[in-house]
């Protein structure tokens, strides 16, 4: 059993927990392009997502799939172009853009937390899936692709990792985790299935 610690608190008396989703809206042209392709509002809608989970030592970290320069991963202690983990406060400080936390509507049971940690730890170091991220852009394209291409977790993009994590825990079953882009994932989990509650903007 992992030595999970208490939930994370940041200024504002709001607690964050395993299973919460961290959403980002960058200020660069790439983020704006992702927003346009995924039917979001340029420079405002989420263009990147990560998920909070406990590391084996109990620390609550943001697990994400990205090629951005984040420094050394907290798990491997080396830079990674792919699935990596960092403290939420660190991510909040270095990210150039808006940052929100979308809380899961309930706390995870201990076995769910362990399952989430085990899954994400098994993904650490896997390379980023740039082609998969491109395929996920646009509702029509992503659904058409999902009909002919099965999920492949050898390489991962950000929303694919989060969707796969929710599926692994049993929070949201999905036939193909590769069809989710950041904006669609947040919209779906927040408004359709009510898995997420009102977000807190950190930056």
DSSP 18-61: TT-EEEEEESSHHHHHHHHHTT--TTTS-SEEEEEEE-TTS-EE
Q: Which are the contacts of 201, defined by CB distance < 8 A and separation ≥ 6?
A: 98, 99, 100
- pLDDT at site 163: 97
Bridge-based pairing of strands 14-16 and 97-102 is unpaired
Kindly state the percentage of the chain with pLDDT values over 70: 74
- pLDDT at site 12: 46
Assess contact for 60 and 18: CB atoms under 8 A.
yes
pLDDT grade, residue 29 (50/70/90)? very low
Whether 39 has a pLDDT exceeding 90, the answer reads no
Angle at 38 between CA 34 and CA 39, to 5 degrees: 115
How far is residue 199's CA from residue 186's CA, in Å, rounded to a whole number?
A: 10
Q: What is the pLDDT of residues 88-136, one digit of tens each?
A: 999 999 998 899 999 999 999 999 999 999 999 999 999 998 877 666 6
Comparing 76-80, 112-116, 131-135, 193-197, the range with the smallest average pLDDT is 131-135
Mean pLDDT computed over 22-41: 63
Mean pLDDT computed over 167-182: 90
Q: What is the pLDDT of residues 136-165, one digit of tens each?
A: 665 455 555 555 556 678 999 999 999 999
Mean pLDDT computed over 167-178: 91
- pLDDT at site 139: 47
- pLDDT at site 116: 98
- pLDDT at site 15: 86
Kindly state the percentage of the chain with pLDDT values over 90: 60
Mean pLDDT computed over 22-35: 67
CATH class of 10-195: alpha beta
């Amino acid at each position: 059993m992992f030595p999970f610690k208490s939930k994370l608190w940041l200024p504002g008396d709001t607690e964050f927990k395993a299973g919460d989703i961290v959403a980002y809206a960058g200020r660069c042209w790439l983020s704006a392009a992702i927003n346009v392709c995924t039917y979001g509002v340029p420079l405002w809608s989420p263009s990147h997502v990560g998920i909070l989970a406990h590391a084996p030592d109990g620390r609550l970290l943001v697990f994400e799939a990205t090629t951005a320069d984040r420094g050394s991963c907290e798990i491997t202690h080396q830079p990674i172009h792919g699935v990596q983990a960092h403290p939420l406060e660190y991510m909040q400080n270095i990210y150039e853009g808006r940052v929100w936390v979308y809380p899961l509507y309930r706390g995870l049971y201990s076995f769910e937390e362990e399952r989430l940690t085990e899954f994400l730890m098994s993904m650490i170091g896997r390379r980023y899936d740039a082609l998969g991220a491109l395929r996920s852009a646009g509702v029509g394209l992503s659904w058409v692709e999902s009909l002919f291409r099965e999920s492949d977790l050898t390489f991962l993009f950000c929303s694919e990792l989060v969707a796969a994590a929710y599926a692994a825990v049993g929070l949201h079953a999905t036939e193909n985790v590769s069809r989710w882009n950041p904006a669609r994932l947040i919209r779906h989990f927040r408004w359709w299935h009510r898995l997420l509650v009102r977000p807190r903007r950190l930056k």
